[in-house]
A = this chain, B = another copy of it.
Amino acid sequence: MPSSTDSRAAASRPQLTADRVVEAAAAVADREGLHGVSMRRVGGELGVEAMSLYHHVAGKDALLDALADWLMVRVERPSPDGPWREAIAARCRSLRAVMRDHPWGPALVESRRAPGMTLLGHLEAVLECLHRGGFPVQLAAHAFSVLDAYVYGFVSTERSLPFEPGGGVDDLAAELALPADVFPRMVELIEQAIVGRSYDYADEFEYGLELVLDGLEARLGEGPAESVAR
Measured CB to CB, the residues of A under 8 A from B are 106-107, 109-115, 120-121, 123-124, 127-128, 131, 137-138, 140-142, 145-146, 148-154, 156-157, 160-162, 176, 178, 182-186, 188-189, 192-193, 204, 207-208, 211-212, 214-216, 218-219
Q: 10 closest pairs, A vs B, by CB?
A: A153-B153, A149-B153, A127-B185, A146-B208, A149-B154, A211-B215, A152-B153, A137-B192, A141-B193, A124-B183
Mostly, the A contact residues are helix
Q: Which of B137, B157, B178 contacts A193 (CB 8 A)?
A: B137
Q: Is the CB of A160 within 8 A of B193?
A: no
CA–CA, A141 and B203, complex, Å: 12
Could you list some 27 contacts between A and B, CB below 8 A? A107-B111, A110-B110, A110-B160, A112-B160, A115-B160, A123-B186, A124-B182, A124-B184, A124-B185, A127-B186, A137-B193, A140-B189, A141-B204, A142-B204, A142-B211, A146-B207, A146-B211, A146-B212, A148-B153, A149-B150, A149-B156, A150-B150, A150-B153, A152-B153, A211-B219, A214-B215, A214-B218
